Amino acid sequence: MGLPSSGRNTICGRFTRHLNVICIDEFDDATLDKIYGSVVKWHFAQHEDAAMQSLDKAVWRRRAGTTHDGDLPPTPAKSHYVFNLRDFSRVVSGLLLVPNGALSSSEKLVRLWLHEVYRVFHDRLRWDKKCIVREVAEAVFGQKLRHVLGHIVGEGEAEVTPEHLSRLIFGDFMIPDAEEKTYDEIQSMGDLTQMTENYLEEHNTVSKSSMSLVMFQYVVQHVARSAGS
């Protein structure tokens, strides 16, 4: 239960007198760093590349993984700006899905972080705050997004846009018959669209209630991100 603010009303004493109210202090940043840092550090400690091991602190910083209430506070126009540790845990869980063998470079790790942050937070953020992700990524990881997303951003394009970030997809469904699913980057939007259409065709073959869907780019991207939830 949150504190009374941003549309949350104060509960009257006549109601709370029937209950036992238990309150737990919010964890400070040092405690959160210790909890999540231990998990992420163990994961990246298994990587052979020392440079990748050194990035564990950048990944698990709470400031880098999610938004602080002070950065994006809820307002009457943005009442949905309410974030908690459950959101941050989803980002960390996504980072841990990729095996160390699949993280071939620090640039790929940054792309994975971007994908997980956008998968969890993007639909809830208004794009007038788009710079916060770029600023945090460049400050924490020390890499320009233009360089990290070089295979997506064209040579004649000046800066990274929402359209570029929407084409950044990770998933474990590109090889349907694989014995062990690997959560990895999907670089070809054409292959992703074709695979999504194959899954749709398979569903319509075995299901009594078929779905007549047109797999345009936005639908494919939304399905891919939902599959990683």
Residue-wise pLDDT for 39-86, tens only, equals 888 887 766 665 565 566 666 554 544 555 456 666 666 666 677 778
pLDDT above 90 coverage of the chain, percent: 11
Q: What is the pLDDT of residue 17?
A: 86
CA–CA separation, 43 vs 88, rounded Å? 17
Give 52 or 139, the one with higher predicted confidence: 139
> Dmax over Cα atoms in the chain, in whole Å?
66
Q: How many CB atoms lie within 10 A of CB 23?
A: 6
pTM of the model: 0.77
Four-residue CA torsion sign, 146, 45, 35, 97: positive
Q: What is the pLDDT of residue 12?
A: 82
pLDDT at 4 over 90: no
Q: What is the pLDDT of residue 29?
A: 77
pLDDT tens digit sequence for 167-199: 889 999 998 888 888 899 998 889 999 999 999
Summary mean pLDDT of the chain: 78
Give 142 or 193, the one with higher predicted confidence: 193
CA–CA separation, 24 vs 44, rounded Å? 31
Angle at the Cα of 160 from the Cα atoms of 174 and 50, rounded to 5 degrees: 65
Residues 6+ apart with CB under 8 A from 124: 80, 81
